[in-house]
Amino acid sequence: MKKLLCALLLMPLTVMAELKSLDETDLENVSGQGIEIDLQADFEDHADFDQANWIAYRRTLYDTSGNAIPLIDANGDGNVDGQTIFNTATLNNDPLRMPYYVILGKITGSIKLEGLQFNLSDTVDYTVQKGAVREVESREKAALKWTLPEFISFKKFKIDGLYVSEDATVDASDNRVIGLEANGNLYLPAQPKAFVFITDN
């Protein structure tokens, strides 16, 4: 067996391959193109706030030069220290308010997506205005096509609320905008498709 393996290793191998770009029609006709995956996220229920599942978001502010503004409010007046913003209504420089946090949580239960598809495409459809008529044109552009599944499955999935808060924690004084609770399958009217690609500029 060792002699056979040595002989195979010493034999010169010739490999020929050709790369060919496929358009959208070709991609749809190819079996097994792209990637199809199943996703499931399980959120454990924690009574402790620090251990629970939360998503907190706050805007980042930039000056006219494109530099991030430090979000510091040392005196607690709700304004960004040393920053103003021009008010076109009063023609004055008003204090720049500290941006609020948008908090989503707490999140419990599970959410599952079956048959999530990612395909590579070399054409993207654009809507072009031609006079009074809007037409769809296909242009050559490398893109990643993301197709959602036919339905999304929820199992005791719950979001306690969407909150607006001055800090990254939720307390009784924060505004609760809306909550969500779902259990079962959410069927989509169609399989939505999204294209992700690099712009020209």
Residues 155-166 have pLDDT tens digits of: 999 998 898 888
User: Which DSSP string corresponds to 7-28?
Assistant: HHHHS------------HHHHH
Helices and strands in the chain, H and E counts: 2, 9
Closest CA to 114 of 146, 167, 152: 152
Residue 189, SS3? coil
The mean pLDDT value for 96-113 works out to 89
**Could you tell me the pLDDT band of residue 10, with boundaries at 50, 70 and 90?**
very low
pTM of the entire predicted model: 0.54
C-alpha 59: how far from its chain's center? 16
Residues 90-102 have pLDDT tens digits of: 888 888 889 888 9
**Could you tell me the pLDDT band of residue 181, with boundaries at 50, 70 and 90?**
very high
Instruction: Say what the pLDDT of residue 183 is.
Output: 93
Residue 29, SS3? helix
The mean pLDDT value for 10-22 works out to 42
CB atoms within 10 A of CB 21: 11
Query: Which region among 18-32, 77-91, 106-120, 128-142 has the lowest average model confidence (pLDDT)?
Result: 18-32
Bridge partners (DSSP) listed for residue 140: 123
